[in-house]
Amino acid sequence: MTEQESTFTPIKAARYLGVSEASLRLWRSGGECPRYFRAGDKLVRYRRADLDAWIESRLSEPKPKADSLTA
């Protein structure tokens, strides 16, 4: 896959993450979003690797079952 193919517009990045573009924009303005770069004054782009890393960083650990707490 070329670098161009692994670069997402905000619309495509939002689809990839399963959220709205508005959510992604809100997260970006609040500093809570995946890493991105500006490909011009107003052109925001995301790399697939950064989206995947952001997802990975938010994975939660499974909680232990109640019966394993009493063992």
Q: What percent of the chain has pLDDT over 70?
A: 86
- What is the sign, positive or negative, of the torsion defined by CA atoms of 53, 58, 59, 61? positive
pLDDT at 3: 56
Mean pLDDT lowest among 17-26, 35-44, 59-68: 59-68
* Averaged pLDDT, 41-68: 89
Segment holding 48, helix H or strand E: helix 48-57
**Residue 50 placed within a domain:** yes
**Helices 10-17/21-30 angle, 10° precision:** 100
Q: What is the mean pLDDT of residues 21-29?
A: 95
Could you tell me if residue 70 is inside a domain? no
51 is a domain residue: yes
Q: How many domains does the chain have?
A: 1
4 vs 46: which has the higher pLDDT: 46
- pLDDT, residue 11, reads 96
Q: Evaluate whether 49 touches 6 at the Cβ level (below 8 Å).
A: yes
Q: Name, in order, each residue with C-beta under 8 angstroms of 21's C-beta and a sequence gap of 6 or more.
A: 10, 11, 14
Q: Is residue 48 part of a domain?
A: yes
